[in-house]
Amino acid sequence: MALLAPAAQAQPEGDPAPQCFRKHHVPAVYERSKRLLRKARLVHDETASGQIAMTHFPAIYIEKKTLISPAHVVLKQVRCTKAIIRKADRLPAEECLATKGCTEIDPANPLTIN
């Protein structure tokens, strides 16, 4: 999905040129550490008939996960094409002033407008 916002600097004639942005989802980043709880081992069992069965038990670890940065959305500027402009979410017209342009999008919550 793309967002469409008028440019902050107006062109000499008419409306300001649109700027197009695409949402890029950035996944959360975690720091992982693991602690050995029990080593891997082999167990030999002898049945009553004399058959020996060898069983492998893998190592057991406890993993600790620490959040470094949460998942978020980054708006990256892209070249505006007719297809992007047709599909774009437009900013509300009442928030735009001819001298200042439109209000900025809050980086903490890009879905709401300051």
Give the angle subtended at the CA of 50 by the CAs of 45 and 53, to the nearest 5°: 30
Taking residue 3's Cβ as centre, other Cβ atoms within 10 Å add up to: 20
pLDDT tens column, 53-79: 999 999 999 999 999 999 999 989 888
Say whether both 84 and 62 belong to one domain.
no
Q: What percent of the chain has pLDDT over 90?
A: 37
Do residues 62 and 93 share a domain?
Answer: no
Same domain, 36 and 61: yes
Q: What CA–CA distance (Å, rounded) separates 79 from 98?
A: 23
Q: Contact at 8 Å (CB) between 84 and 4?
A: yes
pLDDT at 102: 59
Q: Residue 31: is its pLDDT beyond 90? A: yes
Look up the pTM and report it.
Answer: 0.44
Categorise residue 101: left if φ over 0, alpha if ψ from -120 to 50, beta otherwise. left
41-57 pLDDT tens trace: 999 998 888 899 999 99
35 and 55 assigned to the same domain = yes
Do residues 77 and 113 share a domain? Answer: yes
Q: Which residue did the predictor score with more confidence, 70 or 16? A: 70
- The reported pLDDT for the residue numbered 11 is 45
Domain residue limits at 10: 1-27+71-114
Residues 111 and 92 in one domain: yes
